């Protein structure tokens, strides 16, 4: 079962102080592990990291601060057993007793106990005294983490971040498959959403499906008020602890999807919903265990569809939604058809970027591995689960599953002008949120201008734009010209000779119409015809940020 920590207000500040003093940050952990061990840890290989911290703890000459950081790394990141004295030294303000009282550590090697910590006499430290500590003699000699408590660092549009995130222990620490009510820390999808969300100042933010609370933390930096919801009681407990540890105020509500906020309006909704498409049998008998952090418990992609089509009910005029999702690609149908129907039904401006497309077998393997079910651990269970996944997809003629970013907006005037569905599987430049917001603003700028008005505008080439020319050997002129964006989505636009020529002289001095007139004279073609031919390309470059208004 999930093991959320206890939120004891008198002890949480002491924990924060000790973590800071030990330098228990992403950079600090990297310093003691080294590049090789850190890279291996990113691949879920803990041996190099365990050896690195073991050497530091065994060396009596290790600096006190470094030793504290090594003990915390072993304890909370690597699933190691740490002597009570080392825990007490690493957390001098909180103390080992305080760590037990908070439910962060317990007796080694007990893991996964329902109570936060088992003590030698078989009881649990529920006998707290007013200051939140436990009676003397109840702290085991050797301790192991019950909670995953790890540093988190990022650099969004608001600047650098150093936080700590609390969640349930993962496979690396426990050595076994996850429990259905597992509360995940900062997974890949969470990190992606944090990077693609715009950080413009807003009033109210809804973090729908908050999990450990990472999106709510980010939102707190640019919002007046943050409401975070989740169906999982343990997730809300972890989010509350994480927020308190980082000194952030958020309002937490329990409930499914939009139910906890029905009738309210928000300026921004962020959501990493439980979008994974898991076999779900009729009548409620699930073919596989459902993980609360990822599985919506609905047939196919119904949960994501319902969120896309229904989230407008809680959006204030001009409000936006930034979320992730999966969608099924069924036989004989392009993915844009299915997701396009969702956008049409939503009544919102919509932009969907498909970032990945997996066949059913790869999809099943990905999420079986994510839940800790492997052929090595349970050959029969793995094979049965794999087959259930493939049978479920086959029952709906699913040929592939898409994953991507969904950006929605409630038009202030009620007029939908944006319906954009595209695939972009290449490298992007994070953080992407401000680029997406700027592209949406450029869309609005273009919507307000006719072709004649656009021709009167003065444009600049964005500073990250370069040009690539490809020539056949011996030829004087290029047969392919690509205008490439260095940031954002890193787009490469195949430009006609005229469009490339226009981009080359967009320095804000001449209007678009004046430049095209000069190009027409140079090419000895009709200016009006050339303008009609090139302006759609100009609009595309402005929309995507390769050209910007002067």
The whole-number pLDDT of residue 142 equals 94
DSSP state of 327: E
| CA dihedral angle for residue 474, residue 475, residue 480, residue 486, rounded to 10 degrees | 60
CA 25 to mean position of chain CA atoms? 20
d(CA 304, CA 327): 8
Q: For 347, which DSSP code?
A: T
| pLDDT in the model for residue 110 | 43
Q: pTM for the whole thing? A: 0.90
The answer to whether 138 and 119 have CB atoms below 8 angstroms apart is yes
Say what percent of the chain tops pLDDT 90.
Answer: 81
Under DSSP, is residue 144 helix (H, G, I), strand (E, B) or coil? strand
Q: Return the structure tokens found at 82.
A: 């740490």
Closest by CA position to 81, among listed 58, 100, 63, 107: 107
CA atoms within 13 A on the CB side of 345: 14
- pLDDT digit string (tens) for 330-372? 999 999 999 999 999 999 999 999 999 999 999 999 999 888 8
The pLDDT value recorded for residue 474 is: 87
Phi-psi region of 411 (alpha: psi -120 to 50; beta: other; left: phi over 0): beta
What's the rounded Cα separation, in Å, for the pair 267 and 489?
A: 25
Q: Are 101 and 121 in contact (CB under 8 A)?
A: no
What pLDDT does residue 158 have?
83
Best CA proximity match to 400, nearest among 299, 345, 332: 332
Give dist(CA 33, CA 281) in Å, integer.
46
Strands 465-470, 480-485: pairing is antiparallel
CB 166 within 8 A of CB 235: no
Whether 376 contacts 384, CB under 8 Å: no
3-state secondary structure 153-200: EEEECCEEEEEEEEEECCHHHHCCCCCCCCCCCCCHHHHHHHHHCCCC
On whether the CB atoms of residues 433 and 488 are closer than 8 A, the answer is no
Residue 216 to residue 205: CA distance in whole angstroms: 8
- Write out pLDDT tens, residues 44-60: 899 999 999 999 999 99
What are the residues whose beta carbons fall under 8 Å from the beta carbon of 13, sequence distance 6 or more?
Answer: none
The residue ranges of the chain whose pLDDT is under 50 are 110-137, 282-284
For residues 420 and 440, what is the distance between their CA atoms, to the nearest angstrom? 11
Task: Kindly tell me the burial class for residue 480, based on how many C-beta atoms sit within 10 Å of its own C-beta (0-12, 13-18, 19 or more).
Answer: exposed
Domains in the chain with CATH codes:
12-145 (no CATH), 162-413 (3.40.50.150), 443-549 (1.10.10)
Query: From CA 486, how far away is CA 150, in angstroms rounded?
Result: 33
pLDDT for position 286? 55
Closest among 418, 408, 411 to 543, alpha carbons compared? 418
- Residue 377 sits at the vertex; the CA angle it makes with 372 and 382, to the nearest 5 degrees, is 70
Chain-centroid distance, C-alpha 189: 4
């Amino acid at each position: 079962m999930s093991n959320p920590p206890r939120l004891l207000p008198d002890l949480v500040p002491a924990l924060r102080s000790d973590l800071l003093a030990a330098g228990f940050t992403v950079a600090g952990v990297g310093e003691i592990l080294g590049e090789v061990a850190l890279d291996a840890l990113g691949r879920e290989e803990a041996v190099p990291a365990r050896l690195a911290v073991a050497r530091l703890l065994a060396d009596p000459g290790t600096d006190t601060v470094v030793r504290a950081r090594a003990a915390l790394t072993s304890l909370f990141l690597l699933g190691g057993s740490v002597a009570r004295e080392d825990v007490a030294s690493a957390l001098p303000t909180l103390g080992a007793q305080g760590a037990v009282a908070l439910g962060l550590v317990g007796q080694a090697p007990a893991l996964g106990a329902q109570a936060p910590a088992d003590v030698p006499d078989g009881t649990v430290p529920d006998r707290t005294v007013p200051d939140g500590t436990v009676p003397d003699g109840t702290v085991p000699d050797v301790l192991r983490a019950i909670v995953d408590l790890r540093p988190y660092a990022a650099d969004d549009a608001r600047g650098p971040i150093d936080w700590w995130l609390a969640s349930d222990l993962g496979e690396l620490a426990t050595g076994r498959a996850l429990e259905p009510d597992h509360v995940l820390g900062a997974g890949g999808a969470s990190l992606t959403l944090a990077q693609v969300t715009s950080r413009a100042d807003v009033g109210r933010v809804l973090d729908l499906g908050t999990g450990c609370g990472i999106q709510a933390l980010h939102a707190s930096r640019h919002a007046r008020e943050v409401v975070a919801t989740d169906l999982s009681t343990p997730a809300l407990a972890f989010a509350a602890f994480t927020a308190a540890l980082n000194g952030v105020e958020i309002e937490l509500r329990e409930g499914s999807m939009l139910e906890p906020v029905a009738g309210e309006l928000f300026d921004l909704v962020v959501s990493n919903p439980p979008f994974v498409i898991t076999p779900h049998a009729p009548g409620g008998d699930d073919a596989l265990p459902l993980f609360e952090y990822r599985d919506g418990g609905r047939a196919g992609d119904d949960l994501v569809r319902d969120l896309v089509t229904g989230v407008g009910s809680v959006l204030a005029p001009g409000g936006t939604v930034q979320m992730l999702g999966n969608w099924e690609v069924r036989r004989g149908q392009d993915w844009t058809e299915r997701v396009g129907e969702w956008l049409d039904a939503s009544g919102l401006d919509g932009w969907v970027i498909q970032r990945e497309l997996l066949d059913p077998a790869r999809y099943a393997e990905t999420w079986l591995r994510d839940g800790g079910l492997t052929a090595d651990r349970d050959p029969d269970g793995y094979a049965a689960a794999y087959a259930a996944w493939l049978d479920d997809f086959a029952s709906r003629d699913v040929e592939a599953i898409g994953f991507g970013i969904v950006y929605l907006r409630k038009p202030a005037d009620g007029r939908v002008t944006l319906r954009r569905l595209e695939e972009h599987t290449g490298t992007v430049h994070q953080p992407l949120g401000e680029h997406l917001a700027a592209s949406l603003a450029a869309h609005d700028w273009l919507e307000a201008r006719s072709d004649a008005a656009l021709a009167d505008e003065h444009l600049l080439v964005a500073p990250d734009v370069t040009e690539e020319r490809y020539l056949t050997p011996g030829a004087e002129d290029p047969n392919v010209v690509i205008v490439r964006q260095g940031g954002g989505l890193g787009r490469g636009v195949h430009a006609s000779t005229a469009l490339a020529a226009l981009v080359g002289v967009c320095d804000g001095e001449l209007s678009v119409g004046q430049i095209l007139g000069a190009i027409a004279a140079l090419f000895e073609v009709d200016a009006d015809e050339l303008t009609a031919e090139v302006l759609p390309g100009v609009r595309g470059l402005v929309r995507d940020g390769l050209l910007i208004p002067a």
